[in-house]
Amino acid sequence: MRYKLIIDKNAEEEVIAVVHAPSALTRQIEDLVRGCSGTDSLMGCREDELRRLTFGDLACITVLDRKVIAVDTDGRQYRIRDRLRDLEDILPSYFIRINRSTLANEHQIERFDATFGGGVDAVFRCGHRDYVSRRCFAQIRRRYEGK
């Protein structure tokens, strides 16, 4: 592996990594770059409170009643103005899709529970539960088997 760092005050900052396949290292690099670039938080509102929510403090981001809601690590819910598909582009790689309308922080998932109907629920450390679609569960399994 080669490493090259060019310091030029006049050039626009960019990080380019050429790799054969994604790995734990590429995820760490991506998280580091996103954290340093200032895109490490969202603005959320709850009742009369407007709050900055850092990505690490979020358990998941989901759609409830056609509104995008962020659930923090204490289980509080905040309304987010961004669309879920736009958030997917800026969130770090440790946010995984668990169903069509939910992005979950994999560090905040405590366990996966089987349901009576044959489905699977993700149980978060804050107590929040959300179902995991079959397609997403297969992708999650492949992700963990690849580690």
Q: Is residue 96 part of a domain?
A: yes
Q: Are 140 and 130 in contact (CB under 8 A)?
A: no
CATH of residue 65: 2.40.50.1020
DSSP assignments along 92-137, one per residue: -TTEEEEETTEEEETTTEEEEEE-TTS-EEEEETTS-EEEE-HHHH
pLDDT in tens, 28-46: 887 777 666 556 788 999 9
Question: Does the residue 8 lie in any domain?
Answer: no
d(CA 57, CA 108): 9
In a domain, 13, yes or no: no
Helix (H) or strand (E) holding 90: helix 84-90
Per-residue pLDDT reduced to its tens digit, 92-142 = 888 999 999 999 999 999 999 998 888 899 999 999 999 999 999 999 988
Host domain of residue 79: 24-146
Residue 117 domain flag = yes
Contact of 102 with 60, CB cutoff 8 Å: yes
Positive or negative, the CA dihedral 78, 68, 144, 146 is negative
Q: Tell whether 14 is covered by a domain.
A: no
Q: Which residue has the higher pLDDT, 26 or 65?
A: 65
pTM (whole model) above 0.85? no
Task: Tell me if 17 is assigned to some domain.
Answer: no
Residue 11 lies in a domain: no
In a domain, 93, yes or no: yes
How many domains in the chain? Answer: 1
